[in-house]
A = this chain, B = another copy of it.
Amino acid sequence: MTLDRVLAALSDPTRRELLETLGRNQPCSATTLAARLPVSRQAVVQHLAVLRDCELVSSYRSGKEVLFTVRPEQLAATGSWMTGLAATWEDRLQSLKRQAELGQAELGRDEAGQAELGQAEAGKDG
Number of A residues whose C-beta is below 8 Å from B? 55
Would you call B7 and A122 a contact (CB within 8 A)? no
- Copies of this chain, complex-wide, total 2
Residues of B within 8 A of A90 (CB): 72, 76
Tell me how far the C-beta of A73 lies from the nearest C-beta in chain B, rounded to whole angstroms. Answer: 8
6 tightest Cβ-Cβ pairs between the two chains A and B: A79-B82, A60-B123, A79-B83, A11-B11, A76-B86, A35-B123
Interface of A toward B, CB cutoff 8 Å: 4, 7-8, 10-11, 13, 16, 20, 23-28, 32, 35-36, 58-60, 62-63, 67, 69-73, 75-76, 78-90, 92-93, 96, 116-120, 122-124, 126
